[in-house]
Each structure stands twice: as C-alpha cells, then as structure tokens.
Structure 1
Amino acid sequence: MKPSVCIESVFRGLELTEALSLVKSSGYDAFEFWNWSNKDIDKMRAEMDRLELSIATFCTEGGTLVDREKHQAFLVGLSETVKVAQGLGCRSLIVTAGNELREVPREAQLENIVVGLRAAVPILEAAGVTLTLEPLNTAVDHPGYILARSDEAFDIIDQVGSEQVKVLYDIYHQQITEGNLVATMLPRLSSIGHIHAAGCPGRHELYKGEIHYANVFQALRSAGYAGYVGLEYFPSEDAASGLAKARELFL
C-alpha cells in the first residue's frame, strides 16, 4: 500500500514546482492531481525527474459518461489524456460519471456509463492504462451527481468486464454515503484500482474526524491491497504536519 499526495487539495494554490518540492520534503514519493490541461506538463516531467517522484493518477478530461451523446467527446478526451499519462509514466486515470439528466430514466443513465466505459476499453488496453470510476457523495459535496454508492459502481465495473476499468473507492465520500467501509471494500478489493482518503466530516487531515484510518489501512494491508492511497484532503493546519502524521499510517 503506497501513499500519494493530491497536490491540488493538500497544496491548493501553490505553484507546481513548490508543491512538488513539498511532496518530496514531506517524505512522499508519489503525487496526483485533478486536471492536466491547465498545467505545464513539460515542467511537471522535469520536476518529477529532478525529485524522483512518480504520478499515481490524474483525471481524464472531455465529454461525460452519463450522456451517450457526449461519449465521442469523452473518448477523444480520454485518448488525449492517455498520451499525457504515457509521457508522464502514469498508468492510472480517474473518470467521473457526470450529473444526473432529469429527463432520462436513471437505469438508462447507468447503462450509458457502462456503454461509454466499454468503448474506452480498447484505448486503455492498447496503452496499458487503468481507468478508475469514482462514486462521489451527493449529500455534502456533489449534489446532483449520478453515482454515489459503491455497489452501483462495482456493478457497472462488473458489466464492463475489463481489468483496465476499476473503481476508485474514496473513503471520505463513502463514509458519508454508506459507511461500513472495511466490510464494503475487502470483498471487492480486486475491483478497486485506487483509493482516496480524507478526514470525515470536514475533508481535513486523516486523524481528524470519525474514521479510524489506522484500522482501515491495517485491514487493507492485511488483505493484500498494494495500490495507491491518495491523500485528497484540505488542510486545516500546517500541511507538513498533517502529512507527517498521515505518513505514520503507512509504516
């Protein structure tokens, strides 16, 4: 199990070079971010090489899965994102499904997500990249989003039927949506391609809130999870201090 620092939340507002330097000086070897089109990718590559950092994952851009009419834009955006990922040595990407369409039955929208992900599989297989679908909570942070529950996300992944398409299980979001974290994750560990973590409530440091991350991480470790856990939280105190305390959870 490997930690990754989300520079757009933990180091929100900092210039790229400074953020990556802080990732390294805080004792981490990997980072992640959200959007790539607003970043200097050449500078990122140079700083990664200089600091000996890896990218765990970042988001694909373009189109939306929930709307079948926008699948072509999604596939074009995915192809562009895959090229960026290959240039950065990144083998995992994140996709969100989009907001609900009020005029379309929910089952049809979920089917659209499956269809869009199936169409993405040849692109992913050719590049050796995994795409992770992320459920988000709709009660606090993302009202209107189509996909809140992990069981629906796992069902979608099962229907897609490709090892290149998995679930991003965000512990913070799923604590709000459904709780029962360990019992939900462990039986589906092979379908989880990435994990996010933040304190709940508040989305601050991992040691703040109701989630006992030491127990959650120990359960994941014992079950054999060897992927990344992205620290995607918004600091309520000195970022370096929070990262130091989070790092202890991975030892």
Structure 2
Amino acid sequence: MSRRVVLGAGAALVAAGGAGIRTSAQAQSAARFSLHYAPHEGSFASRGSRLEQIAYAADQGFAAWEDNEAAGRPVAEQEAMARALRQRGMTMGVFVASMPKWADFRPLLGGNDDADREGFLADIRASIEVARRLDAKWMTVVPGFLDRKLPMEIQTGRVIDTMRRAAEIVEPHGLVMVMEPLNTLTNHPGAFLQTIPQGFAIAKGVGSPAVKVLADLYHEQIQAGNLIRTLETCWDEIAYLQFGDNPGRKEPGTGEINYGNIVRWLRARQFAGVIGMEHGNSVEGRDGEDRLLAAYRAIDAA
C-alpha cells in the first residue's frame, strides 16, 4: 500500500523528520487524518520497538498515540516516548491512572471500605507526575465493581463524592480524569460503571472540568447501542473516545458498528480530541497492519 495516499484536499502533511529513529531522507509522510486517531503499541508491531512504531504511525498520518500501560513503565521509557511524540507533533492520549484488579471484584469507590477510596486517591496523586512526564492531559479511571448488598443510589453517591475529591487533586494541574464505562455482557461482568449515560450522570454530579467520560464505543454498543444519539445527548460530559468494532474488538469494518457515520458526526461537531484505537488487528502481521490502515482511511474519507 502506498505511503503517500492522500485522504482529501487540504489535509495537512505530517512534518518530515525522525523521532530519533529515521532520518528526514528516509521518512515519507502521508496526509494526516482528519481526526486524532491514536494507535497503541502493537498496532504496528512489525515495525519494531515502541518508538519505531510511533515514527511509523506518524509517517502514516496519525496525529496521536495511546498507552494504557504508560504509568507502569520505567521513567526513562516514559520520557523517551514523550520526546518521540513531541518531535513528530503527536498528541499523547490516555494512560490508566486507576483500574481495579479484575480478579478481586472489589466495589472500590462505591463500597463500604474507605481504604479502597484512599487507595484510589493515592493512584490519582501518583498520576500527576506521570502525566507531566508524558505531556498527557487525560487519564483513565474505572470506579470498580458493584456491591450487590448496597443500594445503587448509595454507591453512586459515594462514587460522586470520591471523584470530587480526586478532582480537587488534578484540577489545578489542568488534567482530566475520564471515567470509562465497561460492558458487563461480554468482558466485565459486575462492573459498576456500565454505560455512557451513567457516566454522564456522575460527571454532572461532580461538576468539575477534571471529571469527564471516556466513550468507548465498543463497550457502549454491547451494553446499550444507540451510539450517535447517546453521544449527542451526553456530549458535554464526554472528553475522550475509543473505537473498536463489535463483535471481536478489532478495527472498524470487522463488525456491526457504522464508524463512517460516527466519524461524519464527529467532524460535524468539529471534535479536536483524541480517539483511541483500543482494539486489536483482525489479521496478524504486516497484512493486518495494512488492513488497519485501510480501515481508518476508509472511515476517515467517509
């Protein structure tokens, strides 16, 4: 596949010049996508190391990068990734600031144990320095699991209260915690936060620019569907999106979600944020990477 495919007239070209990996003579840049789609390590695994994958993604026209595991990486790796992204003019997407241990099924923010809430707030404090090193604005948080012995209203109130406390920690730094609703029907049975509207209600209850919703459309399609109407209704509390088709959680075009229509809707909204490509490739190896590129060129040109 040509690396000079043009998506449309007027698209800005990615600046040539390496991320400390390729020389300017070697780098050939495709037109940038119209939206900030963010691959992750593994999207282009055949191209080499994480930094080489970032350089390749930039050459293909991607303007963002996502790394859920960034907070757990050595400081030197965090700083190297941030340098690579700056050199290629790419935006850093989310990293995970706090996530429950899936094997524990602990209620965390909505339960009876204050130690769980204090542990969450400690994660948030630690994430401030991580965000600074990564040049990151958004961090993912997951409130934990349902406590089936407590009324939902009690749990919701506790989650709102804890997120307000977390907002007081990160808001002075200009950071945004994005709460991720997870589907309970395929991947995360028992999760507390299950839909975008539920996240909307919590964000409204918190009332801070530091607490918003991560709209992962793979999860929402499984749990509730009605994607465009849901985005439209909850839009003022959504700060970040993630794509992945259903079933299978692979690239757009492999399942039932009409991502072309969603991209058109986002462009009409002049969405300038990041869209994480939080999915695998349907085909392994370089053929799968070419298919991934073709899928995003297709929806971006829709």
TM above 0.5 = yes
1:151 aligns with 2:180: no
Q: Residue 31 of structure 1: which of 61, 65, 70 is its match?
A: 65
1:132 touches 1:168 (CA, 8 Å); kept in 2? yes
Q: Residue 60 of structure 1: which of 87, 92, 97 is its match?
A: 97
Q: What RMSD in Å do the two structures reach over aligned CA positions?
A: 2.2
**Higher relative contact order, structure no. (Cα contacts within 8 Å, ≥ 6 residues apart):** 1
Unpaired runs of 5+ residues, structure 1, are none
For residue 42 of structure 1, give the secondary structure of its aligned residue in structure 2: helix
Structure label with greater radius of gyration: 2
Structure 1 equivalent of residue 50 of structure 2: 16
Q: Percent identity?
A: 28
Structure 2 equivalent of residue 192 of structure 1: 238
Q: How many residues align?
A: 250
Pairing 1:86-125 to 2, within 5 Å after superposition:
86-125=132-171
What is the alpha-carbon distance in structure 2 between the residues aligned to residue 228 and residue 110 of structure 1? 28
Q: CA deviation at 1:152?
A: 1.3
Structure 1 equivalent of residue 228 of structure 2: 182
1:167 aligns with 2:201: no
Q: CA deviation at 1:12?
A: 7.5
Which amino acid letter does the alignment assign opposite residue 162 of structure 1? S
What is the alpha-carbon distance in structure 2 between the residues aligned to residue 196 and residue 174 of structure 1? 10
Cα deviation digits, residues 52-82 of structure 1 (max 9, x gap)? 2331111103774233511111111101112
For residue 69 of structure 2, give the secondary structure of its aligned residue in structure 1: coil
Unpaired runs of 5+ residues, structure 2, are 1-34, 101-107
Cα deviation digits, residues 113-147 of structure 1 (max 9, x gap)? 11110001111211100111110100001111111
Which range moves more in the overlay, 204-213 or 58-67?
A: 58-67
For residue 239 of structure 1, give the secondary structure of its aligned residue in structure 2: helix
For residue 147 of structure 1, give the secondary structure of its aligned residue in structure 2: coil
Relative to structure 1, the CA distance from residue 5 to residue 65 in structure 2 (aligned partners, 3 Å threshold; closer, same or farther) is: farther
2:220 touches 2:227 (CA, 8 Å); kept in 1? yes
Give the structure-1-normalised TM-score: 0.90
Give the structure-2-normalised TM-score: 0.76
Structure 1 equivalent of residue 181 of structure 2: 135
Which amino acid letter does the alignment assign opposite residue 245 of structure 2? G
Pairing 1:229-240 to 2, within 5 Å after superposition:
229-237=275-283, 238-240=288-290
Which range moves more in the overlay, 127-136 or 144-153?
A: 144-153
What is the alpha-carbon distance in structure 1 between the residues aligned to residue 173 and residue 229 of structure 2? 33
Structure 2 equivalent of residue 216 of structure 1: 262
For residue 190 of structure 2, give the secondary structure of its aligned residue in structure 1: coil
1:16 touches 1:44 (CA, 8 Å); kept in 2? no
1:213 touches 1:249 (CA, 8 Å); kept in 2? yes
Relative to structure 1, the CA distance from residue 21 to residue 182 in structure 2 (aligned partners, 3 Å threshold; closer, same or farther) is: same
What is the alpha-carbon distance in structure 2 between the residues aligned to residue 91 and residue 103 of structure 1? 36
Q: Residue 79 of structure 2: which of 33, 40, 45 is its match?
A: 45
What is the alpha-carbon distance in structure 1 between the residues aligned to residue 154 and residue 44 of structure 2? 39
What is the alpha-carbon distance in structure 2 between the residues aligned to residue 32 and residue 54 of structure 1? 9
1:48 touches 1:54 (CA, 8 Å); kept in 2? no
